[in-house]
Structure 1
């Protein structure tokens, strides 16, 4: 059992940070997709309903990424 613990690879802390950063970007893209036309920041060729669906999907995926990053950074799996 002692050999198993000493032979483990060092924990990579950059990957969870990358997940956090990607998650934040996806959340921001989702907010942009939802509010861009309403704020006059852009016009899209698809209907506002589809932009809302896309924005919500991007935000949910971003929240998943943020949750994964926080879980891997701050909570041990052992």
Structure 2
């Protein structure tokens, strides 16, 4: 059955879009690699012209990719609120 599997590869250009006004923009990402038992989260904050304000990546503890994504967003939002 696996021999009949054909991967479909789709490529697309991803572009950062600047925030409105004089705001900062927070982008986050989380990753869970079950086969390697590794989980991580990261964030980057940029100003309206794209200059980096801060960026972090760090290991976290969780058991699903969705949870790692949510943790990355929560930690990033918490940092922004503290500024």
Give the alignment's TM-score, normalised by structure 2. 0.29
* Structure whose CA Rg is larger: 1
The structure with the greater share of residues assigned to helix is 1
Give the TM-score normalised by the residue count of structure 1. 0.31
